[in-house]
Structure 1
Amino acid sequence: MTDGVAGADGSASARPVSNWNLPNALTMLRIVLVPVYGWFLLGHDHDSILWRTLAWGVFAVAMITDKVDGDIARSRGLVTDFGKIADPIADKAMTGMAFVALSVTGDIWWAVTIVVLLREWSVTLLRLSVAKDVVIAAARSGKIKTMLQVFALGGLTLPGRQVDGWLDVPGDIFYYLSQAFLAAAVAMTLWSGYEFFRDYARQRRQTSVG
């Protein structure tokens, strides 16, 4: 992507945006954090309060930087082709790792993880493969889906069922609340996927007719 920059004579000249910028660095940080999250959650006792909390911290940092890098890229004109490709890959890698890891720990059914990952990666790969020919704007349902997934995966990563004492009942309530977020996230994931493929088919028909 290029920015319009005024030259010495007042005319606009195109200056390419370097891939070496803060938003792309944050995107790469998220990719690096994916195995760290997996190691914290799966490389130790699944019921460890400490390691689950550390894994949640990594997940939280990844989700915060996902929001921050997009805002910085748009506000400072630092959107690059690399960022357009790497950003969704980083997002899906982190949430995918969380779904798989939480299925290993028994917090999420494997059937749920398989369905969600099939939807997520099929949409992401199709969006990237046709980006130059068909532009499909992010739907509101997709943003809601992402928010619900973040709450669900973050909540299920935290030690809800593992705490005891006076935190026993609040921990159980928090765990089942996270499961409710997960159910809503799965429903919205499937709906937003349907909307994407529907809009894609419509645009393809319009392109072929035009």
Structure 2
Amino acid sequence: MVPHVSVVNVANMLTGLRIVLVPVFLVALFVGDGHETFWRVVAFIVFTAAVITDRLDGEIARSYGMVTEFGKLADPIADKALIGAALIGLSMLGDLPWWVTVVILAREVAVTVLRLAVIRRGVIPASRGGKLKTLVQAVAIGLFVLPLSGAWLAAAWVLMIAAVVLTVLTGLDYLLSAVRGARAV
């Protein structure tokens, strides 16, 4: 018999904290004209804290047997809310072209729909490429939140282009995995 895991645990509280940090991040991002250095640094700190909770909640849940159905559902929602809010916010402020936001969010929606469509055959696990994509996206977005210029902004652009390429490639990889899974049935 599998022991019951309480939905109220550290891992799920970290996921909940990440969800709460999304509007806090947005408020800090948009204070004043959205380009006030102090508030952009505050937004970066909040974004970074939220990204760290993403890393910690999964590790804690797996390591200490705290995996719950709620966590499995809430964690990706929290991730997508954070990344989506950041991308949309940066595009609204004119700091990130809309095409970047559209490509990344379209891939996230497509992979989510794909996962739901094939869930009867089993979950498509996150690949190493998908995890790398998430890391590169988070670092690139974090750099765009900061008020950077010159070489630092150029480095942020290199990472953002890498994030977009990884986003597209891993999206295609998920599609191929789903097709292979469908053929195997």
TM-score by length of 2: 0.95
**CA distances 1:98-121 after superposition (whole Å, capped 9, x unpaired):** 110111121211011111101112
Structure 1 CA distance for aligned equivalents of residues 64 and 56 of structure 2: 12
1:177 aligns with 2:155: yes
Structure 2 CA distance for aligned equivalents of residues 111 and 19 of structure 1: 38
Relative to its length, the structure with more helix (as a share) is 2
| 1:4 alignment counterpart | none
Relative to its length, the structure with more strand (as a share) is 1
1:91 to 79, 84, 101: 79
**CA distances 1:89-138 after superposition (whole Å, capped 9, x unpaired):** 10111011111011112121101111110111221243245434322221
Structure 2 CA distance for aligned equivalents of residues 20 and 63 of structure 1: 21
**CA distances 1:19-63 after superposition (whole Å, capped 9, x unpaired):** 111101100111111111111112422220111000001100001
Q: Is the 8 A contact 1:134 1:200 kept in 2?
A: no
Q: Which runs of structure 2 are paired with 1:44-63 in the superposition (5 Å)? A: 44-63=32-51
Structure 2 CA distance for aligned equivalents of residues 130 and 180 of structure 1: 34
1:75 aligns with 2:46: no
Aligned residues: 185
Structure 2 CA distance for aligned equivalents of residues 21 and 47 of structure 1: 37
Identity percentage over the alignment? 45
Work out which of the two has the higher radius of gyration on C-alpha atoms and give 1 or 2.
1
Structure 1 CA distance for aligned equivalents of residues 28 and 122 of structure 2: 40
| 1:38 alignment counterpart | 26
Structure 2 CA distance for aligned equivalents of residues 52 and 28 of structure 1: 23
Q: Is the 8 A contact 2:100 2:164 kept in 1?
A: yes
| 2:173 alignment counterpart | 195
Please, which runs of 5 or more residues in structure 1 have no aligned partner? 1-12, 162-171
| 1:139 alignment counterpart | 127
Q: Which runs of 4+ in 1 moved over 3 A?
A: 128-132
Q: Relative to structure 2, which stretch is displaced further, 148-157 or 130-139? A: 130-139
3-state SS, counterpart of residue 20 of structure 1: coil
| 1:21 alignment counterpart | 9
Structure 2 CA distance for aligned equivalents of residues 154 and 24 of structure 1: 24
Q: RMSD across aligned C-alpha pairs, in angstroms? A: 1.3
Structure 1 CA distance for aligned equivalents of residues 32 and 7 of structure 2: 36
Q: Is the 8 A contact 1:92 1:121 kept in 2?
A: no
Q: Which amino acid aligns with 1:176?
A: A
